[in-house]
Amino acid sequence: MTTTLEKLLELVPSLNIDGEPYTFEAKGKTLVGQWDIVSAISLYPTEAAAIDKKYKIIVTFDEKEDTYDYSERQTSTSVSLNGGGLSFGTSVSSGKSYGKESSFEFGGINKTKNGVSPVLSYSFSTSQIKTPLFVFLEQNGWTKKMGFFGRLFSK
């Protein structure tokens, strides 16, 4: 039996687990997961840099079919100031994705929400946030909406 959307959205806070880098919340009739992957300022003897990466997954529901669909958005912004001048970069990706990312930098002074350190490291995997989310939805009777080809070949 499928949990009603109203009840499902009331259960969303149970997805938030201490120690995990992501959070979930109900917004209207959608479920939103967010992960602030990294936000840091790095100071080196001849350079200063800042990086900010975020990920968001938005789940929408079809109550008539008891299905869900989702979209993802990842943003990355970086600024660097060195002897060669100022550089700025930004990227945005949206759609469905699967990926892993890790970074490790040593040297300089790196300031993050966790404090100051000579090491800047972070890792990100879409499966780390999507697996508990999709298991939660399936345990509550919701199924992933199939695309055109999925519907065509499933019959």
* Every domain of the chain and the residues it spans: 5-150
H-helix or E-strand spanning residue 70: strand 67-82
Q: CA–CA separation, 91 vs 80, rounded Å?
A: 15
Please give the share of the chain, as a percent, with pLDDT higher than 70. 94
The CA–CA distances, whole Å, from 128 to 6, 58, 61, 116 equal: 25, 15, 22, 26
Question: What is the predicted pLDDT for the residue at 62?
Answer: 97
Question: What is the predicted pLDDT for the residue at 44?
Answer: 84
Question: What is the predicted pLDDT for the residue at 149?
Answer: 55
DSSP bridge pairs for 117:
110
For residue 21, give the DSSP letter.
S
Q: Exposed (0-12), middle (13-18) or buried (19+): which is 57, by Cβ within 10 Å? A: buried
pLDDT tens digits, 30-58? 999 999 999 998 888 888 999 999 999 99
pLDDT at 114 over 90: no
- Residues of the chain by 3-state class (helix, strand, coil), percent to 5: 20, 60, 20
Tokens of 153: 């070949």
111 or 67, greater pLDDT: 67
Q: With bands split at pLDDT 50, 70 and 90, how would you rate the model's confidence at 9? A: very high
